[in-house]
């Protein structure tokens, strides 16, 4: 994740490559061939000086192009869905996309498989406890772009970062942010320490509670496993005991032992 004066140019250039240089009929990341990858890498090296043969550098470049390609495909689908259903959507191509390529995208979006996945993803997003309103920009880049606290001369804390990434001018404050500020401003009892921003963050978002619940469920599963193992061992011991008794009786009768 490049955090520097040129990081935005880096993301912009890779976004241009992802949008205009990836083969127009590649709908998924796996559709890009090795030869096409090499061509994309050459385009990156025309703009930036790096040793792309280093594994971690190549992985970073690939991941950025992949993410920008995903953003572009999402933008195409969002535009497609914005076209009224009573209109022939195939006649309204996205800016910069050829008619043939647009037709193929429409073919993909109109399949039952894609619709099922899209519906599932939409439901998953609706289950999110916290909504993020900072777009595709990473938390690291947002924090790096935020000014230093004038009083402490330190980087902004987690609560200020949360406000930046979860505050909407249209929707107002998220209730989690209000609760964070409330805890931060609470007077501390004599002899006790005030909560740190990290502790407030965990408390408000329920991270600690969810971790404790997960640990409790894990312990319960372990108990079930141990009980099942004990039951299995008991049954195995009973079977072995019965086998020994059977062998003893067979020996008394002069018959060969059972297998």
Q: Where are the domains of the chain?
A: 1-82+93-101, 139-184+197-205
Report the residue count for the chain: 259
Most confident of 39-43, 157-161, 219-223: 39-43
- List residues bridging with 168 in a β-sheet: 172
Instruction: Tell me what the mean pLDDT of segment 76-90 comes to.
Output: 93
Range from 56-70, 174-188, 232-246 carrying the lowest mean pLDDT? 174-188
Q: Extract long-range pairs of 37-42: CB within 8 Å, 24+ residues apart.
A: 37/62, 40/65
pLDDT band at 78, cuts 50/70/90?
A: very high
Q: What percent of the chain stands above pLDDT 70?
A: 58
Longest Cα–Cα distance of the chain, Å, equals 97
pLDDT band at 221, cuts 50/70/90?
A: low
Instruction: Tell me what the mean pLDDT of segment 229-237 comes to.
Output: 69
Q: Is the pLDDT of residue 173 over 60?
A: no
Which of the pair, 195 or 189, is modelled with greater confidence?
A: 195
Mean pLDDT of the chain: 76
Which of the pair, 193 or 82, is modelled with greater confidence?
A: 82
The pLDDT of residue 258 is: 56
* DSSP code per residue over the chain: ---STTHHHHHHHHHHHHHHTS-TT--SGGGS-HHHHHHHHHHHHHH----TTSHHHHHHHHHHHHHHHHHHHHHHHHHHHHS-TTS-GGGSPPTT--HHHHHHHHHHHTSHHHHHHHHHHHHHHHT-SS---STT--HHHHHHHSPPPTTT-S---HHHHHHHHH-BTTTB--HHHHHHHHHHHSPPPTT-PPPPHHHHHHHHHTHHHHHHHHHHHHHHHHHHHHHHHHHHHHHHHHHHHHHHHHHHHHHHTTPPPP-
Range from 22-31, 32-41, 106-115, 234-243 carrying the lowest mean pLDDT? 234-243
pLDDT band at 140, cuts 50/70/90?
A: low
Most confident of 77-86, 153-162, 174-183: 77-86
The pLDDT of residue 133 is: 60
Contact by Cβ (8 Å): 62, 50: no
pLDDT band at 152, cuts 50/70/90?
A: low
Q: Is the pLDDT of residue 171 over 80?
A: no
Q: How far is CA 148 from CA 139, 162, 230, in A?
A: 16, 15, 59
**Cα 45 from Cα 67, distance rounded (Å):** 19
Q: What is the pLDDT of residues 10-66, one digit of tens each?
A: 888 888 888 888 887 888 888 888 888 889 999 999 988 889 889 988 888 888 898
Contact by Cβ (8 Å): 76, 26: no
The pLDDT of residue 25 is: 80
The pLDDT of residue 257 is: 56
Instruction: Tell me what the mean pLDDT of segment 97-114 comes to.
Output: 93
């Amino acid at each position: 994740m490049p955090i520097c004066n040129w990081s935005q140019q880096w993301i912009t250039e890779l976004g241009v490559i992802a949008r205009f240089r990836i083969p127009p009929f590649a709908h998924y990341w796996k559709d890009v061939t090795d030869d096409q990858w090499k061509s994309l890498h050459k385009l990156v090296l025309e703009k930036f000086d790096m040793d792309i043969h280093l594994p971690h550098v190549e992985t970073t470049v690939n991941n950025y192009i992949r993410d920008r390609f995903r953003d572009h495909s999402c933008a195409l689908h969002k535009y497609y869905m914005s076209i009224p259903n009573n209109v022939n959507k195939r006649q309204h191509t996205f800016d910069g996309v050829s008619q043939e390529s647009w037709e193929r995208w429409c073919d993909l979006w109109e399949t039952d498989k894609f619709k099922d996945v899209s519906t599932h993803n939409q439901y998953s997003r609706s289950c999110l406890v916290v909504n993020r309103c900072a777009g595709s920009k990473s938390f690291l880049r947002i924090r790096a772009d935020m000014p230093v606290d004038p009083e402490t001369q330190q980087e902004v804390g987690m609560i200020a970062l949360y406000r930046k990434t979860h505050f909407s001018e249209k929707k107002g404050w998220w209730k989690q942010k209000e609760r964070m500020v409330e805890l931060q401003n609470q007077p501390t009892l004599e002899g006790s320490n005030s909560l740190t921003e990290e502790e407030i963050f965990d408390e408000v978002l329920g991270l600690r509670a969810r971790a404790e619940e997960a640990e409790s469920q894990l312990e319960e599963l372990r108990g079930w496993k141990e009980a099942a193992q004990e039951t299995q061992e008991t049954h195995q011991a009973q079977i072995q005991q019965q086998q020994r008794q059977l062998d003893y009786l067979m020996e008394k009768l002069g018959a060969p032992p059972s297998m």
